[in-house]
Amino acid sequence: MSGKIFIYIIVSILVIWSLEAVNINSIFKKNRVIQATTFYFLIALSMIYLVTNFVYDIYMTFKLI
């Protein structure tokens, strides 16, 4: 399980770094900072979860072979 935590940390850094390149403020209406921040947070959490599970599943698959 400690390997998955390590993957979570690495993926979290990569996802936050990559999401900084996206200008999500242009998607939202003006003066909707809280909604934009919430959306950014939920997208980051979703991507971290999905990418970590993908990498961990790939690792476990090749570990069995």
Task: Show the tokens assigned to 51.
Answer: 């990418």
Task: Show the tokens assigned to 19.
Answer: 């999401």
Confidence at 12, pLDDT banded by 50, 70, 90: very high
Residue range 22-35, pLDDT digits in tens: 887 788 888 888 88
Widest pairwise Cα distance in the chain: 53
pLDDT computed for residue 49 by the predictor? 97
Distance of CA 49 to the CA centre of its chain: 6
Per-residue pLDDT at 1 exceeds 70: no
Please answer whether residues 52 and 4 qualify as being in contact, where contact means their C-beta atoms are separated by less than 8 angstroms.
yes
6, with CB counted inside 10 A (0-12, 13-18, 19+), is exposed
